[in-house]
Amino acid sequence: MGNSALRAHVETAQKTGVFQLKDRGLTEFPSELQKLTSNLRTIDLSNNKIENLPPVIIGKFTLLKSLSLNNNKLTALPDELCNLKKLETLSLNNNQLRELPSTFGQLSALKTLSLSGNQLRALPSQLCSLRHLDVVDLSKNQIRSIPDIVGELQVIELNLNQNQISQISVKISSCPRLKVLRLEENCLELSMLPQSILSDSQICLLAVEGNLFEIKKLRELEGYDKYMERFTATKKKFA
């Protein structure tokens, strides 16, 4: 795209605090945004071909609340991203990320994290430090098991659909706020699903279709009636 068009976008963003430039074939993060580090609240550069985020620039958007880079070619995130202390929404679906920066737990305001369609092989332990995180989407990755640290997650909704999960720690039942757990299309045997999810957790929506067992077998498990009580109570609340 031409410089004049980019300039026009930058001028508009200066007034609105929103910079949106999708579907433009960009191969790098626009350096022109350096001028706007102190007033941008939203950046959306989805559906481009960006391969990395410039460490020097990205950490300076101190007022940024929402950052979307869905459908790009990111393979890693710089540590400097974690300086964004006001960031509430981070959408990085359909990139090529294998891990998160070790400092990711410093994104203390983060509420919604979308990492669907990446190459993560494990549940990132850094997420356990994020006390305000409500919704995490890790669907369509390569996660094989859910370890004990999951019990420290503060999320309300956890989407793990379409991974390769065959093992889940019983600690998932200890998640203090977890209400919605999505595990569709994984590699779970019924014997690997902790029964405490049904009998002794806060979870009121458990989605497990497309695993290695029939749903009717789930209904025969001890604790299923307790789960259904929570499910029905929640349904009534939103009816």
The predicted-structure confidence for 92-125, as pLDDT tens digits, reads as follows 999 999 999 999 999 999 999 999 999 999 999 9
How sure is the predictor about 22, in pLDDT bands with cuts at 50, 70 and 90? very high
In the DSSP assignment, the letter for residue 192 is G
pLDDT of residue 178: 98
Band (pLDDT 50/70/90 cuts) for residue 7 is confident
Residue 239 has pLDDT above 70, yes or no: no
Per DSSP (E only), the strands in the chain are 18-20, 42-44, 66-68, 89-91, 112-114, 135-137, 145-146, 157-159, 167-168, 180-182, 205-207
Q: Is pLDDT of 6 > 90?
A: no
pLDDT in tens, 37-95: 999 999 999 999 999 999 999 999 999 999 999 999 999 999 999 999 999 999 999 99
Cα 88 to Cα 8, 67, 98, 146, distances in angstroms: 27, 9, 22, 25
**Where do the structural domains in the chain lie, given as residue ranges?**
1-237
Q: According to the model, what pLDDT value does residue 31 have?
A: 92
**Phi, psi for 87 (deg, rounded to 5):** -65, 125
Q: 148 and 154 in contact (C-beta within 8 Å)?
A: no
**pLDDT bucket at 8, cuts 50 / 70 / 90:** confident
**pLDDT digits over 149-203, tens only?**
999 999 999 999 999 999 999 999 999 999 999 999 999 999 999 999 999 999 9
The predicted pLDDT at position 107 comes to 98
**Class level of CATH domain 1-237:** alpha beta
Q: What angle do CA 213, 219, 224 make, to 5 degrees?
A: 125
CA distance 33 to 27: 15
The C-alpha atoms of residue 29 and residue 69 are separated, in whole angstroms, by 10
Q: Residue 2 has what pLDDT?
A: 59
Distance CA 229, CA 93 (A): 34
Which positions ≥6 away from 10 have C-beta within 8 Å? 19, 30, 32, 33, 35, 36
Please determine, for residue 235, whether its predicted confidence score (pLDDT) is greater than 90. Answer: no
